[in-house]
Structure 1
Amino acid sequence: MTDTPRPAPADPLPPERLADRLMEVFALVGPLYRRVQRKIEQDNAARGVTAGVRAVLDLLHTHGDLTVPQLGRLQSVSRQFVQRMTNEAAARDWVTTTPNPAHQRSPLIRLTPAGRATIEAITTREKAMLAELPGGLTDAEIDACLRVLGRLVDGFAETEQGPGGP
């Protein structure tokens, strides 16, 4: 620990201190993400659902019909990767394509009833697993976490776009 005084909780951190604190956050977020990803893969492997396919099914369940580029943007992954995941899901009859009135060359991806049942079963299992984690977290703590992570996602989206937008 350093003897550097901490700013009052409501004061924004100076850039150097912010960078140090965010490095602490990323040091936790990376391993957390990898552990969750590994757990999801292990739990769904027997059902033939990879983490990538699971993500596509979940986004379609949450947002409704989407194009492959929209799915890619929502996940911050390439359109090509999403297309492979969508093809895998289609081979299992979990998704289908439908014409897109807004863009003739980019069909909408839609969950099939089998896909909806699959993602609902997965999320039910995942919620049961999460409910067993040692908790003690309050709604306020979860809200703060979501707020901070959301701001970081937005901030990185802005830096990826560069000055002046996309």
Structure 2
Amino acid sequence: MPTPKGKKAPARTAAGELLTDLVLQVFKANTTLETAAPAVIQDDRINSPKWQILGAIRHEGKTAAQLGRELGMSRQITLWNARSLAGDGLIAFEANPNHQRAQLATLTDEGREVLEKLTANQVAWINELSGGFDQEQLSVALRTLQALCERLR
């Protein structure tokens, strides 16, 4: 809520200050990760959302709405990226026994091969990146971000 003109904005609590710093750092980390992604992906057909979609349908087909909810994307953005993946032959849309119109996005053989390469690239990259981090600190950071996401829902 905006502060009325002429009124002083309320001060943040100590926890509010820390959470503000954390949120700003998450924004910065997201930008940095998005910038680093092409070096990890090494495939001009794939961007971060498309990679997430491929990973999300690794074991079973999902609708655009299911993918959107799982990945935190709108159904429209998910569907746009899924259609692009289908155009590249990496996924296919199949009939959904639970819904007449909402088809299931599934990996094609080529899509599975691309995902395996992406996974291998990510494993090498993340293992190198994770060197020197304390596992307990990483666990605390993960739980904190999970709790933040849960509160924002």
Same fold (TM over 0.5): yes
How does 1:53-132 map onto structure 2 within 5 Å? Answer: 53-61=50-58, 64-132=60-128
- Deviation string, structure 1 residues 4-58 (Cα, Å, up to 9, x no partner): xxxxxxxxxxx82322111111121111111111111344364321222111111
The residue number in structure 2 matching 1:39 is 36
1:135 aligned partner, one-letter code = G
- The 3-state SS of whatever aligns with 2:102 is coil
More strand by share: 2
The residue number in structure 2 matching 1:50 is 47
Distance in 1 separating the partners of 2:130 and 2:146: 24
- The 3-state SS of whatever aligns with 1:77 is coil
Q: Shift of the alpha carbon at 1:86?
A: 0.3
How does 1:7-46 map onto structure 2 within 5 Å? Answer: 16-44=13-41, 46=43
- The 3-state SS of whatever aligns with 1:37 is helix
8 Å contact kept, 2:92–2:106: yes
- Deviation string, structure 1 residues 70-112 (Cα, Å, up to 9, x no partner): 1111122211111110011001111111111111111111111
Distance in 1 separating the partners of 2:55 and 2:84: 14
Distance in 1 separating the partners of 2:51 and 2:23: 24
The residue number in structure 1 matching 2:8 is none
Residue of 134, 146, 150 corresponding to 2:146 = 150
- The 3-state SS of whatever aligns with 1:105 is strand
Q: Gaps (5+ residues) in structure 1?
A: 1-14, 158-166
1:67 aligned partner, one-letter code = T
Percent identity between the two aligned chains: 24
Distance in 2 separating the partners of 1:146 and 1:133: 16
- Provide the TM-score with structure 2 as the length reference: 0.83
- The 3-state SS of whatever aligns with 1:136 is coil
CA RMSD of aligned residues (A): 1.8
1:90 aligned partner, one-letter code = A
CA 1:139–1:42: 2 relative to 1, 3 Å = closer
Give the count of matched residue pairs.
Answer: 142
Tell me: higher relative CO, structure 1 or 2? Use CA pairs within 8 A at least 6 residues apart.
2
